[in-house]
Amino acid sequence: MPRIVTGSDLPRIFTIRESNHRIHNPFTAGKLAALGQALHLTPGMRLLDLASGSGEMLSTWARDHGVTGTGVDISTVFTEKARVRAAELGVADQVAFVHADASGYVADKPVDLAACLGATWIGNGVAGTVELLSRSLRPGGLTLIGEPYWREEVPNQDTAQACDARDKDDFLALPELIEQFGGLGYDVVEMVLADQESWDRYQAAQWLNLRRWLDDNPDDELATEVRAALTTEPARYTRYQREYLGWGVFALMAR
């Protein structure tokens, strides 16, 4: 769930950190499945997932609900993992994964559901990402946005930055985020929120990935950066992010 993407691929440090992740957000497989069930997905629905990562949402929903769709992601590593995952689940004929910059991507035909989970920088924020997704969506379709929010009032700028925010105004409290969607002309019709357990599974699993990579690649040019991350991130996460930062997926329908 990086905040900034530059160039034509994700930074290596991110793909190392999440090398064994199937879901690149603080969602467990159970929460992802619960979201699919809550949306009452039906066979034949067409989906677009921008910044689709390793393709777990599209692939498991294709298996469980018979949907079809396209995922778009800037990471060559994760796009290939998504294609492998689709084949593993027997849904390669239902979903396709495109290596491309998702910002500005519009489906060639209107879809029933357009999603961007945890990557609203592709539209320069929530408002721009909702507008981008609307270009691919049929009238009456569903928009999915995954976005951080503050669980508690942030006491100072240092705490905000420790939560990967630029400042305290970078994220909203949950009620204010819901109101923002309304101000954009959308009804919030469902939501599934991460909890501390799903945050732990997302963040703590990164530390083992970092350590194993470091043991295997001590002379790599990124070794110093990976060592610094492994040294500092567990304490930073438990002191700040685990307490203050929430995350959820919100289903929207235009009014």
Q: How does pLDDT run across 68-112, given as a tens digit for each residue? A: 999 999 999 999 999 999 999 999 999 999 999 999 999 999 999
205 and 20 Cβ atoms separated by less than 8 Å: yes
Cα–Cα distance, 146 to 251 (Å, whole number): 9
| DSSP per position, 136-193 | TEEEEEEEEEEEEEESS---SHHHHHHTT-SSTTSS-BHHHHHHHHHHTTEEEEEEEE
Nearest to 201 by CA among 25, 19, 2: 25
- Hey, where are the domains in the chain? 12-150+159-254
Confidence of residue 185 (pLDDT cuts 50, 70, 90): very high
**Which CATH topology does 12-150+159-254 take?**
Rossmann fold (3.40.50)
List phi, psi (to 5°) of 40: 55, 50
Q: Tell me: the pLDDT tens digits for 218-236? A: 999 999 999 999 999 999 9
3-state DSSP helix/strand/coil % of the chain, to nearest 5: 45, 20, 35
Q: Helices 126-134 and 174-183 meet at what angle, rounded to 10?
A: 40
**Over the chain, what is the mean pLDDT?**
95
Residue written as tokens 């519009």? 106
**Mean per-residue pLDDT, 244-255:** 98
Residues 39, 113 contacting (CB under 8 angstroms): yes
pTM over 0.75, yes/no:
yes
User: Which pLDDT band holds residue 10 (cuts at 50, 70, 90)?
Assistant: confident
Answer for the pair 209, 108: CB distance below 8 angstroms, yes or no: no
